[in-house]
Amino acid sequence: MKEKVASIIDILKARYPDALCALHYGKDYELMIAVRLSAQCTDARVNLVTPALFAAYPTLEDMAAADIADVENYVRSCGFYKYKARDIVLGCQMLLTDFGGKVPGTMEELLKIPGIGRKTANLLLGDIHGKPGAIVCDTHCIRICGRLGLSKGKEPEKVERQLRQILPPEESNDFCHRIVLFGREICTARKPKCAECPLAMHCQEVNLG
């Protein structure tokens, strides 16, 4: 398994040398907002919505003081907009009141913020704080790691625990970003491009088929 993981990481690195988050942001708290909006929504849609939102509320203080109904109008197209607008405003208020205006750097603190679960917290720990061992178990990660035989099941927390045992901590955050890129380009949910997949030799579905 160690050799398999190392091979997969090397192949993904070669194909996607820039392991960047697909969400656009300029300030740390803006990433927190963008990730909340991305739930049940595409990153592309979020990136269309956030420029106007961030322009309307250019500081953390502005966002924390925003009328939730007004924020709803900006994020409506992202789905579940009432919940997301509420979490955005309340989350920004908590950053100011509880965390000195900064996105906190521990899982325990992040999970206290409205709308933040383990997936979001791991992304923030990896991208903002550079913490090793951050594993973002989104649908791409769960699907592809299952196909590659790196994990079993579809429950995010269980998959996260399995991957934590086999991924080098210093590689895990970038690995998850590359898996998203790979999932969009090659290993799609419905019609994976198996014939041109650089990881085919490691894929259980291809080899079993």
Calculate the alpha carbon distances from 17 to 20, 41, 194 in Å.
9, 26, 21
Q: Which of 179, 124, 182, 133 lies closest to 160 in space, CA to CA?
A: 133
Q: Which of 69-79 are b and which e, b meaning 16 or more Cβ less than 10 Å from the residue's Cβ?
A: eebbebbeebe
Packed helices 68-75 and 43-56: angle between N→C axes, nearest 10 degrees: 140
Catalytic residue among 119, 131, 154, 174: 119
The Cα 33–Cα 71 span in angstroms is 12
Catalytic residue among 138, 154, 158, 191: 138
Sign of CA dihedral 84, 153, 43, 113: positive
Catalytic status, residue 87: no
Catalytic status, residue 119: yes
Residues with a known catalytic role: 119, 138
